[in-house]
Structure 1
């Protein structure tokens, strides 16, 4: 079995070896397990799932809080040759049913906190009533845990795990990784962002997001330790850092929350050796703050997507050289191209469609052959991002095809505008969107969060933007926000901000006094 590229087999080499078996693998609020105990629990759940009547290739949905039992159930499903599908627990019952209609799961495994959501899916539910109790892992995974195993390994090219896309434009699609692509992806994460067996990774992300791979499974793959928190809470995260967590990963908003917490100043941060951030544009002030506040950490930024995992990034040395914008260079093994409408590579500085091909990309959308064919093409994966590349190969994401604002016949990509706005010293966060406009067709608007104690008006922002943006890209309206709402995947929720702005503009929403308008025929 050792020569089969599956995650369960790889973990068995760690859990049965003389040096790694007794090292702690996972810790959560209710307990901890060594690598040997993790493998034993994984195989026990695999046997239990088979004895519960599930067969090779069946989809197993998990509706659980981030925890050791949740991890074990996912690994047990992989070890049993089933397809694990962590569910977005923020979905309503009808939303969950719509998403699962394509997956057609054979069972939903739920803890007590999510039992009602699981029942609303209409699927067979297996509840783990003691998942959140301070008990041994076998009791926390009862009634699934069963003696026996390990089972014969599944084929490398068979489906292993399904992650849901963000679902910002409708029902999420299930992105399916094979055992081989999952193994290769985790291997890339482990080596592209080097880890050691002495690392302690702090995990505070949802399991349905691909950070399950980059921030939990990849550290386990490398033989390191992971501390799982049920949800992001700045105070709890700082307490874990004070106790010795040495690696952090999250969106810029999460690190901003850490640094704004009262306990931040007294937290021991010198033991943090690595930080990785992504999901949204960052500012040079944000990065300089990380470099200052975590002096022993090597800081990296990454770019990826549910369809292909991590594929680009920039390193600590790039940040020290004051290179803060864009998404960096391709990782080894990733082929990144920027193409025009005819499928030809565009010159440096020209915006085109971002196309990615790599050995660890997903195989497609589960049960959706037409959508798979549209996105997963012969030349690579087309996810709808628009990008440009510098002469030295540095990639910049300017927006998404579906988010493009067509103002006066010109294309405006929100992310390009956001990155300029974020350079303003009074802007802490920003989101850009388009609204209908009688004169321009669509007008560019921006929602901003100001730095505490500062005020910023539309005229100031427009003047600031003129050095870097063409006139038609500069926001014509400004909304002041207390915070930028996030999607379940911790990305700016542009659709929600746009909907609220549209309600205000039409007089159906909140007061419009927070909107600073500009003249509709101002120069472009």
Structure 2
């Protein structure tokens, strides 16, 4: 009988091939593993987890930095029939306990960097004290390195992994994959953004984000190599590129940071053959910059969510044809619909609810049946995004329902406004949000980082926006920031910027209009504009 569609079975098969003993699968700051070594370490840790008293279906939370041991613990949990759940290490202890209430984990595995948070969860903790040491993987994963022995076979419909949603409106929810849906998702990633065994993927994202699948597990499924960095650092990333890393994925802010680093000019960027970006709106200037800076790279952009992974994208040829905005077309196998309030598809150009269905979507929110029924419906997954499409099927994301601004009775979606503002030649970065307003109910405000050597004035920005935005969508107030804070996923942190603006509201009577934004290291200036 053929093996089931599970990632552990696939990795064992790859490790058993003649090349598995010498072809490198993973490298981090403290060591490396071949495919054969990865399969062996995975099964060894799987045995150690079972010896620790865990039974199939138990949830194993990981509170660790990105590393080889973290990868091995996640794969070992899958191989043991357990459910892996990487934890957002930026959560406070209170937030982590709230998130884990639904998951009810049997064990939290932690490295020294995150052991304090792990203990704050109130659950049983196993620490890996040598996780970051330059030592063999068995030492780095001790005390979970058990004596390897045969493990019971996995079923495709067994639960495999839980990814936390962004939690933009409160406690994150845990969206879970079965072994089958995980394998189908990784396979889609591997073929939708083609890889070869000669590729070297540079990974610098947190493991709780779905980039764990798209950037680490999918390359391993395809037989490629992954270099893991603990966090994004422009200098370290450029050093890896200079050494031979050939594939990059990240938010536009990361590529902007690479370009601004002193070693950018001397790094051997011709090593890079593939780039994928997403997470935030892009501009034609940003894309043209990528095409210039990485001349040998095929560049793609994509759109996805924790609940369904990657479902939309556009290719290098689209960029060469000058199509830079929006999120592209549905990937093969993804059914994308945009529905009105009556449940019917809206015409081209109209904004409606984005509904996604695909074989690789997650199956629900763990331990949250009501939220699962609300989001995972018979016609697809409803995550609250609003979108439109052109006659030829090109999709644009307007924004999330919960981020929608109601100004003067009209609905405004921040992302739609951001895409226009970002096209201004003097704007390097921007975030749009709503603030309370006595006249309008809410007003549209934009926080802007000016491009080097320039400034941005509200009146001129409003005039610029009038070409592409209705009057009620045009920002009524402007804050100038030195930098926009980022979330753990390196996306612009809209909530943090809005919170700082709210905290600044009582100070708006200051004639100078200048005040440090609370909670950030940036200076903010606010200018008031006339009503739309």
Shorter chain as denominator, the TM-score bin is over 0.9
Stretch moving more, 129-138 or 501-510: 501-510
SS of the residue 1:506 aligns to: helix
1:518 aligns with 2:525: no
Match of 1:51 in 2: 51
Match of 1:364 in 2: 364
Change (3 A) 1:288 1:50: same
8 Å Cα contact 1:504/1:512 also seen in 2: no
8 Å Cα contact 2:387/2:399 also seen in 1: yes
**Structure 1 Cα separation of the partners of residues 89 and 529 of structure 2:** 44
Structure 2 counterparts to residues 275-314 of structure 1, below 5 A: 275-314=275-314
SS of the residue 1:446 aligns to: strand
Change (3 A) 1:509 1:518: closer
Change (3 A) 1:272 1:509: farther
Residue 504 of structure 1 and its aligned partner are, at CA, apart by 1.1
Residue 512 of structure 1 and its aligned partner are, at CA, apart by 3.8
Match of 2:17 in 1: 17
Residue 509 of structure 1 and its aligned partner are, at CA, apart by 12
Match of 1:151 in 2: 151
Residue 487 of structure 1 and its aligned partner are, at CA, apart by 1.6
**Structure 1 Cα separation of the partners of residues 292 and 499 of structure 2:** 38
**Structure 2 Cα separation of the partners of residues 347 and 98 of structure 1:** 41
Match of 1:82 in 2: 82
Residue 147 of structure 1 and its aligned partner are, at CA, apart by 1.5
Match of 1:409 in 2: 409
Structure 2 counterparts to residues 224-239 of structure 1, below 5 A: 224-239=224-239
Match of 1:131 in 2: 131
1:321 aligns with 2:337: no
Cα deviation, 1:249-281, whole Å, max 9, x if unaligned, reads 000000100010000000011010000000000
Match of 2:520 in 1: none
**Structure 2 Cα separation of the partners of residues 481 and 29 of structure 1:** 34
**Structure 2 Cα separation of the partners of residues 141 and 354 of structure 1:** 42
Change (3 A) 1:311 1:431: same
Residue 515 of structure 1 and its aligned partner are, at CA, apart by 3.4
Cα deviation, 1:115-149, whole Å, max 9, x if unaligned, reads 11111111111111111111111111111111223
Stretch moving more, 35-44 or 151-160: 151-160
SS of the residue 1:8 aligns to: helix
8 Å Cα contact 1:200/1:224 also seen in 2: yes
8 Å Cα contact 1:20/1:223 also seen in 2: no
SS of the residue 1:126 aligns to: strand
Match of 2:252 in 1: 252
Match of 1:222 in 2: 222
Runs of 4+ deviating beyond 4 Å? 508-511
Match of 2:440 in 1: 440
Residue 343 of structure 1 and its aligned partner are, at CA, apart by 0.9
Residue 50 of structure 1 and its aligned partner are, at CA, apart by 0.3
**Structure 1 Cα separation of the partners of residues 113 and 487 of structure 2:** 21
Cα deviation, 1:391-425, whole Å, max 9, x if unaligned, reads 00000001110111111111111000000001100
**Structure 1 Cα separation of the partners of residues 146 and 509 of structure 2:** 55
Match of 1:92 in 2: 92
Match of 1:376 in 2: 376
**Structure 2 Cα separation of the partners of residues 68 and 246 of structure 1:** 19
**Structure 1 Cα separation of the partners of residues 163 and 390 of structure 2:** 32
8 Å Cα contact 1:500/1:509 also seen in 2: no
Match of 1:42 in 2: 42
**Structure 2 Cα separation of the partners of residues 156 and 396 of structure 1:** 35
Structure 2: segments with no counterpart, 5+ residues = 515-523
**Structure 2 Cα separation of the partners of residues 515 and 140 of structure 1:** 49
Cα deviation, 1:462-486, whole Å, max 9, x if unaligned, reads 0100110011100000000111112
Residue 21 of structure 1 and its aligned partner are, at CA, apart by 3.6
1:102 aligns with 2:102: yes
8 Å Cα contact 1:2/1:10 also seen in 2: no
**Structure 1 Cα separation of the partners of residues 66 and 502 of structure 2:** 36
Q: CA RMSD in A?
A: 1.3
8 Å Cα contact 1:26/1:226 also seen in 2: yes
**Structure 2 Cα separation of the partners of residues 215 and 519 of structure 1:** 43
Residue 321 of structure 1 and its aligned partner are, at CA, apart by 0.6
8 Å Cα contact 2:481/2:525 also seen in 1: no
Residue 161 of structure 1 and its aligned partner are, at CA, apart by 0.3
Residue 286 of structure 1 and its aligned partner are, at CA, apart by 0.7
Residue 490 of structure 1 and its aligned partner are, at CA, apart by 2.1
- Between the two proteins, the alignment pairs up a number of residues equal to 522
**Structure 2 Cα separation of the partners of residues 91 and 443 of structure 1:** 30
Cα deviation, 1:357-412, whole Å, max 9, x if unaligned, reads 00000000000000000000000000000000000000000111011111111111
Cα deviation, 1:226-264, whole Å, max 9, x if unaligned, reads 000000000000000000000000000001000100000
**Structure 2 Cα separation of the partners of residues 2 and 54 of structure 1:** 27
Match of 1:387 in 2: 387
SS of the residue 2:89 aligns to: coil
1:453 aligns with 2:448: no
1:121 aligns with 2:121: yes
8 Å Cα contact 2:339/2:352 also seen in 1: yes
Structure 1: segments with no counterpart, 5+ residues = none
Q: TM-score, normalised by structure 2?
A: 0.97
